[in-house]
């Protein structure tokens, strides 16, 4: 007789399991219908308040002491020039001298051999200042030193903002408010009401040149070549529906 119960027991267990699965599916489906997911966005245009300019000058001579004497003269000339241009000496940093032996290939029989061709010495000059307009002008005019025989390579200035932390917090507040307004509109138009926020995550903080074709990146774009910048951030938010 006991064996006759086995099919009945198996059938009952199958019904119970099916009911559990169905209940979970219905609950999960209802949960998805009872939530709203939105992405809030905020962006702002601003001006950089910090400029960094750097240049490199170099000298070459067969004797190391001669090359060092020449580059020291150049360093003094750079300092004097910047001082005359009204640059604060505290904002000027002259880097250490880098020394490199130079070799050239010369034919010897059927082969090419390395021949010592002197010492190449290089040095950097860097300006970091909040006087953006003035240093921007100096970076354009510093090529005047080329007329003195000084081999200076000037780099494009880089622009930064010293209050990024405050800017980021302000954008987060605005992006969150934007997301909530979007969620409210969706809830009202759906005939419901907006419930509590139960999950939120911050998107990538991006800084690009305004009206540019710079692409956003997963790690966050950080433009340094434009004085004018646009910062943006997104916030993904999930709300319950009343």
* pLDDT per residue as tens digits for the range 66-95: 999 999 999 999 999 999 999 999 999 999
Most confident of 47-51, 210-214, 221-225: 47-51
Q: What is the pLDDT of residues 160-180, one digit of tens each?
A: 999 999 999 999 999 999 999
Give pLDDT, residue 9.
41
Q: Among 58, 78, 69, 76, which Cα is nearest to 127's?
A: 78
Domains of the chain, start order: 33-47+163-241 (3.30.110.170), 50-160 (3.30.70.2970)
Residue 157 contacts by C-beta under 8 Å, 6 or more apart in sequence?
A: 51, 52, 53, 135, 136, 139
Instruction: Classify residue 191 as left (phi > 0), alpha (psi -120 to 50) or beta.
Output: left
Residues 194, 196, 198, 199, CA torsion sign: positive
Split at pLDDT 50, 70, 90, the class of 2 is very low
Q: How far is CA 90 from CA 57, 74, 133, 139, 143, in A?
A: 20, 19, 18, 17, 22
Q: Among 152, 108, 107, 159, which Cα is nearest to 129's?
A: 159
Percent of the chain scoring above 70 in pLDDT: 84
pLDDT at residue 22 above 70?
Answer: no
Give pLDDT, residue 4.
53
Higher pLDDT, 5 or 70: 70
Q: How far is CA 29 from CA 22, 24, 34, 105, 111, in A?
A: 10, 8, 9, 75, 79
Residue tagged 């434009």 (tokens): 226
């Amino acid at each position: 007789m006991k064996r006759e119960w086995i099919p009945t027991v198996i059938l009952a267990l199958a019904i119970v399991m099916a009911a559990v699965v169905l209940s979970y599916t219905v609950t999960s489906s209802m949960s998805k219908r009872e939530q709203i997911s939105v992405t809030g966005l905020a962006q702002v245009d601003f001006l950089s308040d910090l400029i960094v300019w750097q240049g490199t000058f170099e000298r070459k001579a067969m004797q190391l002491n001669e090359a060092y004497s020449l580059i020291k003269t150049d360093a003094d000339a750079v300092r004097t020039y910047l001082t005359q241009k009204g640059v604060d000496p505290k904002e000027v940093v002259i880097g250490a001298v880098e020394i490199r032996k130079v070799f050239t290939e010369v034919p010897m029989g059927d082969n090419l051999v390395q021949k010592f061709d002197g010492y190449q010495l290089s040095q950097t000059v860097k300006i970091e200042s909040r006087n953006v307009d003035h240093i921007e002008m100096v970076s354009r005019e510093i090529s005047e030193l080329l007329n003195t025989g000084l081999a200076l390579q000037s780099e494009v200035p880089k622009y930064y903002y010293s209050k990024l932390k405050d800017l980021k917090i302000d954008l987060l507040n605005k992006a969150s408010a934007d997301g909530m307004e979007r969620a409210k509109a969706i809830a009202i138009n759906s005939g419901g009401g907006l419930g509590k926020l139960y999950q939120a995550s911050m998107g990538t903080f991006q800084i690009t040149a305004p009206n540019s074709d710079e692409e956003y990146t997963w790690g966050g774009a950080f433009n340094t070549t434009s004085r004018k910048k646009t910062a943006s951030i997104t916030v993904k938010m999930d709300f319950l529906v009343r």
